[in-house]
Each structure stands twice: as C-alpha cells, then as structure tokens.
Structure 1
Amino acid sequence: MLRPLLCLAVPTPVEDVAPPPGPPMHAPTVPRLEAALLDRDLSILAFNQRVFDWAARADVPLLERLRFLAIVSSNLDEFFEVRAEPHLASARNSVAGRPAFEAIAATVRQLVNRQYALYQNELLPQLALHGIRVIAHGERSPAQRRWVRALFERELRPLLLPVSLDPAHPFPQVANKSLNFIVRLSGSDAFGRHNEVAIVRVPRALPRFFRLPASVAPEGRQFVSVSSVVRAHLSDLFVGREVTELSQFRVTRHSDLAVDEEDVRNLRTVLRQGLQQRNFGQAVRLEVSAGCTEFLCAFLLRQFELPEAAMYRVEGPVNLVRLSQLVDMASEPSLLFPVWTPRWPRDLPHTGSLFAHLHAGDALAHQPYESFDAVLALLREAVFDPAVVAIKQTIYRTGSDLQLLELLREAVRLGKEVMVVVELKARFDEEANINWAEALESAGAQVVYGVLGLKTHAKMLLITRREGRRMRRYGHLSTGNYNARTARLYTDLSYMTADPLLTADMDQVFSHLASQSVLPRMRRLLVAPFHLQRRMLERVAAVGKAAAQGQEARIVLKMNALTDEALALALLKAGAQGARIDLIVRGACIVPACVPGVSDNIRVRSVIGRFLEHARVFYFAHGEEQVLYLSSADWMNRNMLRRVELAWPVSDPRLRQRIIDECLVGALHDDRDAWQLRPDGSYARAQHPVSGNSVQAALMARYAQGASDAVRRAP
C-alpha cells in the first residue's frame, strides 16, 4: 500500500509516508466525535488565508502576486454571496448554533486588512520599481490631469447619472458588487431644497483601469483607476453645490439562486428570470473607503439594513477583484510565471485512431501537465468518424471557448445522435449554460437538464461506434470540467476507456438522466445520490475494522473540500481504531488532525500552488487489498445527496500506481507549497517554504523532460 516510489523531484527512492512526530499510533477512546468536528465556514476562511500567502510570497512573480490578491477577493465575494446570509439571519434573530456573525466578520476583516496593507505598502511600490504605476489624482502632472479630464468628459460623464435623494427620488437600485459613490452636499438644489445625499452609480461597462498614453507618461506603464477618475470629478456632476463628504462603496448581496423546481413548468425560463433578480438580493456586506464619515456610513447601513459588523473600511479600491485587469494590461513576462505548455498525454498516440489505441487499454491524462487537447481530439475523431452513431455528454462549466459547442453542432449536422445533459444550475455559470442549451437545441441536439431537484455534476463523454456487427462504446470520465481555459489552470485527471462494463454503466446513467427511470445495478460506477456516500462509508469502515484487528490499514484521500459530517465522523472512528489516515484537502476540512484522544492517527494537509489542485482521488488499503477511485465529487453533503456525481475504480495497475505517485505521494512529500492542519484548528506552512520540494514544480519538471508538441495531428 503506497509502495516505495520514485521521488518526483529526484530519481531516488523514498520511504512510505511516515506518521507525524508526536504521540504514537494507537486506538484511543473517542468521546463525542461530533463535538470534535471543525466549523466549515471558518475553515473556508482559513483556506483563503492560505491563498493570500501566495500573494505575500517574495518568491512568486510580482504580477502573479497581484493576481493571487484578486483571487482572494473573488473567493471572499463568493463566500459572502453564498455563505453569509444564514449567519446574518441568525445574528438578527439571536439564533444559537452558528459562529457569531461578528466572529465571522472579525476573521474576514483581519484578512481584508492584510490584503490592503500588502497592496498599498508592498505590491504597488514594487510594481513602481518595475515601471508599472497606478497614478493617484494627487500624483498626476498637469498634463496628466488634462488628459484624465478629457477622458472623463468623453468616456465617463455621459454614462454617469447622479441621483439626489428625496421622496421623489428614492435610493436607487444598487447592483451586487457594483462600484458606486455616495456624497453629502451643502447648499440647496435648483428648487431650494436641502436634499443633502446623492448617489452616483459607475456602470460595469467601464474598464476599471485606463493606461495613460506615452505623450503624458513617457516612462514605464502608468495607469489610472476608474474610481480615482470619478472621485476627482464628482463635483462636476453637482453644479452649484459643494461636495462636503464622499466615499466609494460596494454592496455584496446574497446570490444563491433558490428555485422551487417542483412548482415550475420551464426551469430554463425561471432561471433566466432569477438571474435578473440575483443582482438585487439581500445585502450581506458593505465596503466603503477608509475615510468614509460616520454620517455616510450610518446612512448606508440603514439603507441596506445591515449591522455595523457587516461594514468594511478599506484603504484603496473597494473591489480588488478587478486588479486582474491590471495584471492583463501590464502584461510584463518577467513579472509573470514562465509560460507552461502542456505535453501531449504519454498514454495516447500522436497519430492514428484514439479508438484503436483504447482497444488495448485505458488511458490517463494529468492536466495541466498534459494537454486537454486530447479530450477535444477524442470528440473530434468521434464527430468525423462515419462509424460513430451517437455522442452523449454532460456540460457543467464550459467557459467561453466554443470548440466543444461547434464540434457537437457539427456532429448533429453529420447525422449523429447527440444528447447533452446541461446543468442549468451551475452556480454563477447559469446564463452561459442556458445559452449553450439553446444553441444546441437550435442545432437539433437532444438537450436535457438532468434530474429535478439535483445538480448534474458528473463529468462524462460517451461515444457509441459501429464496429462490424456490434456496437462498441468509448468513454471519457473526468475529475474536472469540459473547459479548455481551466484545464490550463486546474490539476485534474482525464480517464479514457473502452471497458465494456464501465461504459455500459455510463450509458445507463445517461438513460437515467434523460428518462428518470430506475438506475439499474452498476458494475463499475458509484453514483450519487444513490450509493456513493454509502460505499465510501463502507470502505472507511472496512479499513477501520482491519486496523482494529491488527492489520496494516491505510486511507489517503485527495479532494477540494471535506465537509460531509457522516463521512467525517466515519474517518474519526476509523482513525480511532488505528487506521493511518492522510487527508489532502485543498479547501474546507471539518476533520480535526492530530488531536490527542480524538484524531491521533489523522493528518490533514492542504497544497496551494500555481495551479488549482482539483483532482479527487480516494485510496483505501488493508491487508493485501488496495482500491483507488477517481471522482467528480468532493466529500460534501451536497455532492453525496443533492447532486448526480460519479466515482470509478482504476483497475489498471500501471495507471493506479501513476496516480498514487503523482497525486498522493507527491502531495504528501510536498514541503514547499503544503500546509498542515494543527490540533488547534489552525494551519502551519510546511518546513521548507523556499528550498523544499513542490509537487507541482516537480511534475512540471518531469513532464517537461518528455515534452513534445501538445497539438495532435489528425488521424
């Protein structure tokens, strides 16, 4: 089990993963396991603190640090949009049982303060040393001020509509995460009234940064932010009045779409209507400038019906997410990660038929080290192969790349049966998926939306081909999405197979999604919400039982989040029975680690790297038995009980050993990008953050050694 392998960084043998220093492995009595579980939301925030560390690391290229800072802000936005409303409601209603809203807010505020301190005190000065500057109004030369004023008059002023508030002009609708200004005015309006508060909304259509031309900024690359341009010219919008107080502000709203699917006739239509309402849901967070006066703060809090704990004063722009635009505009190669070009998958031929190759055995592609083009090549071969009669695929998150859509349309045009399961409720991708569904339907594909009340999160492509007198199926299963852009940024495993039992199971799942008929007995696949959780519980229990009987017993799990209480408690029990358990969980994890008398035998680590760790790998071993699954599912309650998810065993010893080597052992030996969960619930960096081994760097080095053109020649 987890046999000695070649180290990823250097070709020398390494021992199996040793237990952590500290108390010896034993089987303690575990009292009140439920009470030992960690809080999910605090764990999510701890994950974002680990992402922030990449923005703070001096060994990371400067513009990439800025990008990581934007990623943290984007993650916090989603946290508030999805997770904050129940805490806020509990605080309003004095409901016990959740971490106090004030405690959540205090944790976020600490992280936000660190973000802005890093941005203002370190990143901006270092960018200036490289000739990249964001010029504030007070720093602009007379020529620059004239250029900015001309920009304001030409590009911004026609789109800005100041609204002075009075009974006939109530507070305007402020969209989720939009940039706005609030001002306090002295004097009277044109009708002699003292309406002292006005709102200016900044349209989303405006870019958040403008580059100054060489004529006024001859040295380096200099930019001005849209917020600084508007702020400098706010008084121009209120002729005859004086602006005495002002602040930019941004409100975050609860944005998790809630649709009663049992009471709708057309889910697509209802979701499209819901998307229009999402921007104006319940306010959950208010961001204002650090200098916002008490009068304006109090006014905004009353307007949005928020407690003071929901307000965040920031030293800079209220939306750091938009810093990603500055990264793209600056685009200095020396300040970015070196370009990584994925190699063509080692398991697949550069020429000839992929179908013929899969006859000989299964194939694996490890993205982004290996190219997602292999998946497109498989689909492209299916589209143009006259022997292929049917193509079935799930769509969850596709991105803006239209290659996949065009291939499926072409398949319909060539007379093949095309069925696509489009998940309309993929959070924040609903509109894109609705557009996909409509485009495919208009082309003549059969489009279904899965099972009422469940999200279809499974990732699979099934191709049926006529070969002589029989039909043969070819399948692709993945831990990630059919998205060419994220396939360059996320680590995922693509699995291609012609296994008749596995592909027959896939066909049954597609039939179930279309007809909602009873799912027959599966030979290879584990399917949520039917039996994935149960089978995982059985696997954990079997390892724990073997450990209690004195056998060597091992569990290693890699995933994005582990928050399902039933599975978490099962792991605690198995650990208490003596099983050695390693959890490689990138994000939220509610299982405690190395707590004496509770989780002595459990270690939890999180790998945060240049690429987003996304693959799900489940390894169980006891005695002579070893089982390894790949999956689309994290160990979360929603994935186990409220989604259609898949897990499948890897039976090929060569592929299984490769996955163990690259995804499990490599992560367990990472001492540069990894974090370890401590008994007190906090995370600590690995021992050698600069000189140690990074699993991602080692894999890039390994794949670069055998790198070749990632583009496959057509068969």
Structure 2
Amino acid sequence: MSIYHSPENFINRELSLIEFNQRVLEEAQDTSHPLFERLKFESIVSSNLDEFFMIRVGSLSDQIAAKFNKPDAAGLTPIEQMAKISMRVHKLVYDQLNCYNRSLKIALKKENILFLKSKELNEKQCQYIKEYYLKNIYPVLTPMVVDQSRPFPLILNRSLNIGLLLQESKDTNEYTFATIQVPSVLERIIEVPYDNGKAFVFLEDIIKMNLNSLFTSHKIVASSCYRITRNADLTLDEEGAEDLLEAIEESLKQRKWGNAVRLEFESGIDERLLNILEEELEISKDQEYEINGPIDLTFLMKLIKKIGYKNLEYTPMKPQLPYEFLKAKNIFEAISQKDILLHHPYESFDPIIDLVKQAAVDPNVLAIKQTLYRVSGNSPIIKALIKAAEQGKQVTVLVELKARFDEENNILWAKRLEESGCHVIYGLIGLKTHCKILLVVRREQTGIKRYVHLGTGNYNDVTAKLYTDLGLLTTNPYLGSDASAIFNMLSGHSHPTDLYKLSLAPLNLRERFLYMISQETKNANMGKAAKIVAKMNSLVDTEIIEALYKASSAGVNIDLIVRGVCCLRPGIPGISENISVRSIVGRLLEHSRIYYFYNDGNETIYLSSADWMNRNLDRRVELLFPVEDKAALFKIKEILDISLSDTVKTRILNTDGTYTRINRRGKENIDSQKIFYNIAMKNNYEEQAQLQYNKEYWIENGFKPRLAHSIE
C-alpha cells in the first residue's frame, strides 16, 4: 500500500461537512455583521443540517441496515462514523441554540422585535390571538388520536408537530397518545399588536394555548413539540425505468416516508411522551436532539422577509455591467470582439440572460442549445427559450431531473419547455449532467458562427446574486466546435473523442487533472519551479488527494481554497507539508472552481463546473475549459491572489481537521469579497460607457474638441 493511502492521511467527509457548518455558525456569531445577516447564517445552519441528515446520515443508515462494514478512506466504518457524527452535531446544535438564545434574541429585543410566550401576552394580545385562532388556525387543524382502531400516523418529514398525552378520566392511569401537525400552509410566526415595535407569537404556541378546544372530552396531561427528519437519499433504478420523468416523480413521493434518522423535541418533554415517540419512530437516544428554543430555526429567514428592516441588512450589491457590452450595438457584437470573463455577482449575470433573450428574437439565430441544472422559480432564461421555440428556432434543452431537492421544480420546467416545442432531454441514465454550457448558432455574412457561454455556476438569476462564480463568453471556433460535439453527445449516442479544448467527465476529466498534477510533480523532481493553486467547493476524491500528496512530497507548492468539505489532511511531515488549505466563508457563497498550474512558466488556468470529488469526475457530465485570453488570465490570477491574501473571512485547515482564523496581529484586514466588489465599483463600467458614448455622439455630430490654450 502506498504511504499516501494510509487512513491517517484523510479526514472523514461527514466530519468535514460538519466543520463547514461550524464556520457558517461562526458568521451568525460575528457581531460585525448586520443583525439580519446573522439571522440568515443561523437559518442556513438549520437548513444545512436538515439536508445533512436526510442525505448523508440517511445514506449511512442504509449502509448500517445492510450490514456494510467497509471503512471509508479515513478508516471509519459506518457505525463509527455515525457515533462521531452524533457527538459532533450535538455540540454544534448546542452552540447554535446558545447563539440564538444568548445573542440573537437579545439583539432582536434591542431593535424592539420580540417573540412572546403565552405568559407575556397582555389582554389585547390575548384577545387578538383568540380571534386569530378561531378564524385562521382551528379550521385547518387535524388532531389525531392513537388507539386500537387508529394506528400511529405517518409523520411527515421535517413537519413540526405537537405530541400529547391524554387521560380520559381521573379514575384511570392509562394514557392515550395524540398528535397534531402544525400546518405548514400557515405562517410560522404570527404578528400581534404591539405599540413599540414588532411582536410575534409562534404558531405552535397559539395551538398549545388552545388545545382544550380540540380535546374536549380528555384531560391533557402533557404536550410538547417535536419534529422528525427522514432518510431522503433516493434510490432510483434508471436502467429499468421506461420513463425517467415518471420514475423520478414516483421516487419523490418516497422521500416523505423514509426511515426517521433524527428526532428533535422541545426541552422539558414528558418522559412518557418521549418514550412513545422513540418506540413508534424506532429512534435511538443518540439520534435525539433536545431543543432549548424554537424547533427549526429556518423561520428566521422568513422573519427577515416578513418585516423588512433594511437597515439591519447589508445594502444590496449592484452588479456592474462590463464596458464591452455597453459600447457594443448588441450582445453578439460584444462577444465577437473578444472573450469576456464575468465574475459574478460583482459583475452582472444579465449578459447571459440577454444572450438568450436576444437569440430568441434575432432572425439570424438558427439554434439555441443549453444545459439546465438548477434554475430559479421564475426563470427569465426559460421564458426566453420558450419564446425562441415559439419563434420556430431549433431549441434543445437538457434539464437535469436528478438535481437534488430541485427535482420537482425541474420537472415543471421540463414539461413547460416541451409543450412550447423545445427538444427536451431528461438527463442521461446513470449520470447527472452538471456542466454549464450554452450554445447559440447564428447565420452571419461570413457564414455560421457559434456563440458559447461556459460557466462554473448554474443558470439561475437568483443565486447569481448570492454565489461567486465565473463565466466565459466566447466565439472561439475551437470551443464552438467542442460545444456542438458535447450537445450531440447529450442528445444522441455519439462520443466526442476529438475535442479541441474541453475536457469532459466522465470520459477524460480525471485524467486531465491527474496529468496536470503529475507534470508539476515531474518539474519539481527536475528542480524546476512548480506550483498548483486550486479553488473549489469540495475536495474528496482519494486519487486526486494522493496525487497532491505525491506532488507535495516532490516539493510542489500547493495552495488550496476549499469552501466546504476537504478530506485532504495538510501539514503531515513528508507528505503534505507543502500544502495549505483555507476556507473562505462570508457574505457570499464561494462557488467558483479555478485550477491553476505553473506548468514550467507557461501558466495554465482552467475553469470548471466540477469539484475534486469522485461523483464529479466519475458519475456526472462535467466540463473543464481553458482560459486563454490575456486579460481574462490576468483577472483570474488577481482573483486567486486576493483570495489567498484574505485575512478576515479565511479559516486555515489544521492537521487535526479543525479550522482556525488567521491571526491578524500586524496584518492588514483583507476581506476578499469586499475587495472584489470595490474593484467592480471602481471600474464603474456604466458611467465610463455613458461618457464614452456621449463623446462619440458629439464627434459624430460635428463637435471638434480644441485645446484650452487655442481658444481666442
């Protein structure tokens, strides 16, 4: 066995993911953020943990049930992983609730935003709640009693519920269990009259105040809120499915009823009530989480939208429109002049939307082809594609139906596109199509011309304002030819064996990465300068990690910027002491994938939709594309340099798998995301373009500028 392959050299994937959520929680704890921004981070921790339990813990549960005992790269069996996860998540949840109770709630109170319990309500508020309950809540509730004729109900995944113990008469010691689902169709927080600001009461508290109206013939002995999370790791037989769309629609129904993998319950729950839930849900003690506060803090995100205190949020960023688009007559002219690299969200996502919109109505455009992985709920791109199809253009769209938790949204859009006349491809069997590529074929005087967009992020106008990504607009004929070959592969059964510029997973992307890493290793062994800088979301693939270890051992200097999961363990003597790993977690979600290789002085930079994970390299359709334009290369090197210089939002990965902030003593405060935005604002593209336009307009209309000293 290779010295690089030892389990001690790897960090467990699940524990690394929990550490990422710890970094998100640190942002909620950071009082330098505006209050509502802190609430967002607190909410994100909860939604991230929901997904973690549904998918990652759900998968481990399946492995344990199947008696699968093979250890992971870090040497941990599924049972060992589950034990470590439970211990670490319990600590994380404790810290999260501390942040809410001891910091966020107090800060909200200072802004006169209150969450009131029943004992804190005045007479006017009580009367308001009574009327609100009878009019809006009571008609929706469905109390369910468990007895000999009514079995324990199926509790919906991630639904909030109230469990009760009922006693029929004082003369009996027998208790009956009942449960009420807190209706998700109603608002979770109800505003009540309050003269000095905003006051809210939780929906579950209002229901608990009125339980006697639901159980008139029983004495309520105990009541507590609880919530379960179910295994939602879908298994889909794609090979045996005659209709992939139908198969996915059916599998989505299963997600609601998987085995319970987590039980959250209100602090102070009656032990008898808890025992019933444990028995009926088949939950063990280490899967239980006692919540000292509101269950499910994702309501904080809705609170922000509900009350809209803009002074407690960051001022929205105004993405800048690059000068190239403002000085050109149309988007086709702009892209024809030179490659254009866009850095979102500092630079606007609008040019990509405009490319599809203009292509839809341009009589010279013959075809539009695009992959869609995650799109917004009201996507302007899809509307433009529908319009293009209705205009009679050839429109081909690959809609990835297997995009996790976006399946239902994508199914709806796929049907809409198909109805309008688009050729819709529902992904490929056994593979997720994760690449981001758009091709517009246009007839021009010189012949057929191909306009291509390649990106690191989704064609989603909403997340394009929240995620940092890079996109390249080009008319490079080699990339255009490759794009056509890729779409022919996706829509038919051809294999693009002779691509000019692009590398494609699962065909040769892994090999390209390994080759580039090995070249740096070879150069280092020859005494030449060697360097790798890579920025990505996750680093999990063991073959890539071992290649990096080998490169580090040869003396290659390796700087990694990994926002989320990182299974590589830096700082191991003789193995990874030349590797540094940092994670940037801030206002925006770092999402771009950049791969830089010194290449013996012939610096090579690639952008990609792929992380260094085995799923990206082996089980997805992904693209890696080179950046060759000099201005674009300079721009990306600047992005990497500034990111590596960040001292404010960077955490450094230690050898033991923990992360620590940079010691800023004596160092300049550098917040990379703020710097990127300031650079975009400093360029002030729009004002520059307007001045240039005015100048050209005046000259065209006979104005002749003269020097001041020549004026008589």
1:63 to 36, 44, 54: 36
Give the CA deviation at 1:288. Answer: 0.4
Give the CA deviation at 1:40. Answer: 0.5
Task: Determine if the alignment matches structure 1 residue 362 to structure 2 residue 339.
Answer: yes
Change (3 A) 1:515 1:420: same
**Aligned partners of 2:162 and 2:593: how far apart in 1?**
44
Aligned residues: 679
Partner of 1:592: 569
**Aligned partners of 2:668 and 2:183: how far apart in 1?**
46
**Aligned partners of 1:623 and 1:498: how far apart in 2?**
29
Tell me the TM-score normalized by structure 2: 0.92
Partner of 2:287: 310
Change (3 A) 1:244 1:703: same
Contact 1:391/1:416 (8 A) holds in 2: yes
Task: Determine if the alignment matches structure 1 residue 403 to structure 2 residue 404.
Answer: no
Moved more, 404-413 or 665-674: 404-413
**Aligned partners of 2:191 and 2:529: how far apart in 1?**
62
1:198 to 169, 178, 193: 178
Task: Determine if the alignment matches structure 1 residue 131 to structure 2 residue 112.
Answer: yes
2:58 to 61, 85, 92: 85
Give the CA deviation at 1:32. Answer: 4.4
Partner of 2:651: 675
Partner of 1:6: none
**CA deviation profile, 1:476-515 (whole Å, cap 9, x unmatched):** 1110011111000000011100000001101111010000
**Aligned partners of 2:20 and 2:208: how far apart in 1?**
34
One-letter code of the match for 2:182? V
Contact 1:188/1:194 (8 A) holds in 2: no
**Aligned partners of 1:360 and 1:89: how far apart in 2?**
54
- Residue identity (%): 37
Alignment of 1:43-122 (within 5 A): 43-89=16-62, 93=67, 95=69, 97=71, 98=77, 99-122=80-103
Contact 1:525/1:648 (8 A) holds in 2: yes
Task: Determine if the alignment matches structure 1 residue 390 to structure 2 residue 352.
Answer: no
One-letter code of the match for 2:225? Q
Contact 1:551/1:622 (8 A) holds in 2: no
Give the CA deviation at 1:87. Answer: 3.0
Contact 1:671/1:688 (8 A) holds in 2: yes
**Aligned partners of 1:252 and 1:345: how far apart in 2?**
45
Partner of 2:436: 459
Contact 1:185/1:197 (8 A) holds in 2: yes
Task: Determine if the alignment matches structure 1 residue 225 to structure 2 residue 202.
Answer: yes
One-letter code of the match for 2:438? L
**Aligned partners of 1:615 and 1:308: how far apart in 2?**
40
**Aligned partners of 1:427 and 1:225: how far apart in 2?**
30
Partner of 2:309: 332
Contact 2:326/2:686 (8 A) holds in 1: no
Contact 1:672/1:687 (8 A) holds in 2: no
Partner of 1:167: 148
> Runs of 5+ in structure 2 lacking a partner?
72-76, 691-712
Contact 1:342/1:368 (8 A) holds in 2: yes
**CA deviation profile, 1:211-259 (whole Å, cap 9, x unmatched):** 22xxx31110111111221222223211122211111111111112211
Alignment of 1:250-399 (within 5 A): 250-349=227-326, 351-399=328-376
**Aligned partners of 2:326 and 2:42: how far apart in 1?**
40
Moved more, 88-97 or 220-229: 88-97
Change (3 A) 1:160 1:525: same
> How large is the RMSD of aligned CA atoms in angstroms?
2.0
Partner of 1:186: 167
Give the CA deviation at 1:691. Answer: 6.8
Give the CA deviation at 1:95. Answer: 3.5
Task: Determine if the alignment matches structure 1 residue 575 to structure 2 residue 552.
Answer: yes
Partner of 2:188: 208
Query: Taking CA–CA contacts closer than 8 Å with sequence separation of 6 or more, which of the two structures ends up with the larger relative contact order?
Result: 1
Contact 1:456/1:645 (8 A) holds in 2: yes
Change (3 A) 1:240 1:225: same
Moved more, 629-638 or 129-138: 129-138
Contact 1:475/1:503 (8 A) holds in 2: yes
Give the CA deviation at 1:523. Answer: 0.6
User: Whose helix proportion is higher, 1 or 2?
Assistant: 2
Contact 1:177/1:252 (8 A) holds in 2: yes
Task: Determine if the alignment matches structure 1 residue 176 to structure 2 residue 147.
Answer: no
Contact 2:168/2:219 (8 A) holds in 1: yes
Task: Determine if the alignment matches structure 1 residue 552 to structure 2 residue 537.
Answer: no
Partner of 1:11: none
**Aligned partners of 1:585 and 1:157: how far apart in 2?**
49
Change (3 A) 1:176 1:709: farther
**Aligned partners of 1:228 and 1:709: how far apart in 2?**
52
**CA deviation profile, 1:10-39 (whole Å, cap 9, x unmatched):** xxxxxxxxxxxxxxxxxxx95644541111
Contact 1:227/1:317 (8 A) holds in 2: no
One-letter code of the match for 1:230? I
Task: Determine if the alignment matches structure 1 residue 626 to structure 2 residue 603.
Answer: yes
Task: Determine if the alignment matches structure 1 residue 493 to structure 2 residue 470.
Answer: yes
**Aligned partners of 1:186 and 1:387: how far apart in 2?**
77
Give the CA deviation at 1:627. Answer: 0.8
Give the CA deviation at 1:561. Answer: 0.4
